[in-house]
Chain A
Amino acid sequence: MATMTYLQAISDGMREEMRRDERVFVMGEDIGAFGGAFKVTDGFLDEFGADRVMDTPLAESAIIGTACGAAYVGLRPICEMQFADFISCGFDQLVNVAGKMHYRQGLPTNITVRLPSGGGFSGGPFHSSNPEAWFMHAPGLKVVAPSTAEDAKGLLIAAVRDPNPVVFMEHKHLYRRVKGEVPAGTYETPLTARIAREGSDLTVIAYGAMVHTALEATADLDGASVEVLDLRSLVPLDEEAILASVRRTSKVLIVDEANQMCAAGAQVAAVIAEHAFEHLDGPVRRVATPDVPIAFSPPLEQALLPGVDRIKEAARELLDY
């Protein structure tokens, strides 16, 4: 075990898997000599060479599309979008080629697409998005969103080994802020939920950066016992873990950093409404980002992103319900 940041853990996962499996390579804009916009592939060029650490033309559709082609001939590409927002330019290849190929043709698309996501740094409307729900809605894509360093490495390796296309949401605000013990070597984190903190009075369901915000907001709520469930994977969605927690606490608050409309949390709420209605002692509440682009100026951005205060307020209302 070594202590690593979330970012170092993602790097370590890729590096270990590339050492183990010559089919794995990374491709993206400015990832080679520069080491990537966030330095996730820093040093990779020296170790693996330019073939396996591929600086690509500035063309997201081509990055996804050529990765699909490489996968069909037996390689295991890891694509880096410089920012999650830029995946809109590669949307068609991801949704129509990668997502639908196996259902139609029985041909799996073994690609991993890394999306540095999330706000909190004045990135503005084009460098702060959380577009995971687009891909939850598209058949044939898996979507994972780790919140810890250990899970970031384990889910990255699981994504690379999964024969299906996996969208890997890596939250930029966690890159250097979150540290943890990370096992050496390679291991796979299962695509299931994890209880980040056990509790009995209320369940807060979150993923990615919001797990940490939820833990902070509910660490001391007048002695209430609050469970925090970290989804880790959005597709597949661990419905059993969600329902089991709701049965224990009977009250649920769901937190999304993404825009509220049809976000991952909306699906979680629907699952609870359909399968755990009898166990609820209050309304299913949601805290999410309003349906506007992420603003640039700090006071505007902070007004949009779910923060500790909004989560506390919603949690208190539910505990008092």
Chain B
Amino acid sequence: MALETAGPLAGTDPAAHGPGHLTPGDRAGLLRSMLLMRSVEERAMNLYRQGKVPGSFYDGFGQEAVSVGAAWALAATDRLCILHRDLGAHLVRGVPPARILGQYMGRDGGITRGRDGNVHFGDHTRGCVGMVSMLPDMMLVATGMAMGFKLRHQDRVALTFFGDGSTSRGDFHEALNWASVQRLPVIFVLENNQYAYSTPLAAQFVVDPIARADAYGMPGVRVDGNDAEEVFEAVHAARERALVGAGPTLIEAVTMRMHGHAAHDDMKYVPPAQLEEWRAKDPIDRQAARVARDGVDVDALREEVRALVDAATQEALAMPMPDPATAHHGAFHDPADGEVVLADGGEAPWSGFAAAGGAG
């Protein structure tokens, strides 16, 4: 299959961009979700510096367009594996910021009730699977969810994120190969943020991952990962393709990790000029300029998000720590508690679902 390149890496004129699937409301919604992601993560970093977040803290500063744009294209019946630079996907699905901040602080009200930290969570009531640290493992989990949809003849897709470092692991190969052999409705979103911890792309691979899509018999689509609308369009197209039984798509969203691997990382291995170059391509600035042209009061939107995060912070700080007496509970599910599988409770805000009569 041909390698499709959906756009240049940079330099897209925001004013010229507008492929047609997004209403002004969607465009503002994308901005709001990105603002919310950045605001929650900045607040969490402050809490970390105050000693309220145990361990280290991991964020997706500068990468907000990837998770927000991708999640915006998914229906409530679709399923996601969300990784640690992808907080925006949780927010699009409707996870309350207070529970996320509680999660970071190890509180009982966090999604994992203190069992796991930072972005290692998935709200199964909203159709999301919590990641494990061995990131490309989730490529196989997503492939398996898609396999389940195909076995049951359901019109649904699974999506997973993963990073440039993940392409070096065997599970990357196993997932792409398996998904292609079985023509599964799965979307692989490679979030190329230039570094796996301190390891740059040149030390990770010789052949660009998107070029490898051809070897697996699936389209490889490279998008500007700092453009939420371009990410949305690529995932939307991949979803349409998956729903007609045409199989998986590999999307490479090219972006930049603007912070260290985690709060303890001073990023001395990143050339300052590289950061400067990417700072000029900030995904929120770009979307804000578009939305402002649509007549939206962006300052008011920023203020609304700030107030929301202020309230969420207070709510999270009021959450108790988990009871140490429960630390050994929960390794196994008790059948008496009923069957638990991923549920359809996540939000699917894209206007196209509402227009289709709530098919989302």
Contacts and interface: CB of A to CB of B under 8 A. Distances in A.
Central interface residue in A65, A71, A75, by most chain B CB within 10 Å: A65
B331 A107 contact: no
A171 interface: no
Interface residues of A, number: 40
Contact of A92 (B129, B134, B144): B134
The winner among B142, B332, B339 for most chain A CB atoms within 10 A is B332
Interface in B134-152: 134, 137, 139-149, 151-152
A104 B116 contact: yes
A52 B146 CA distance: 15
B162 to A, nearest CB: 13
A62 to B, nearest CB: 4
A96 B138 CA distance: 11
B342 A107 contact: yes
B181 A57 contact: yes
Interface stretch (B19-27, B117-125, B227-235, B264-272): B117-125
Nearest to A25: B151
A272 B324 CA distance: 28
**Residue with the greatest number of chain B CB neighbours at <10 A, chosen from A67, A71, A73, A103:** A73
B122 A66 contact: no
A162 interface: yes
A102 B177 contact: no
Contact of A70 (B112, B151, B339): B151
Nearest to B116: A104
B298 interface: no
A163 B333 CA distance: 6
Contacts of A297: none
Contacts of B333: 102, 106, 108, 163-164
Given A72-B341, A92-B134, A163-B333, A105 B124 contact: yes
Nearest to B140: A65
A61 B140 contact: yes
Nearest to A96: B132
- Top-6 shortest CB links A-B: A69-B144, A65-B140, A66-B144, A108-B333, A62-B174, A73-B148
Interface string B324-358: 00000011110100011110000000000000000
B229 to A, nearest CB: 29
B79 A73 contact: yes
B132 A69 contact: no
Interface in A82-139: 92-93, 96-97, 100-108, 139
B147 A96 contact: no
B335 A69 contact: no
A62 B151 CA distance: 17
Contact of A61 (B79, B115, B170, B340): B170
B316 interface: no
A208 interface: no
Contacts of B133: 96
Contacts of B341: 71-74, 107
Contacts of B335: 161-163
A72 B137 contact: no
A61 B171 contact: yes
Nearest to B141: A69
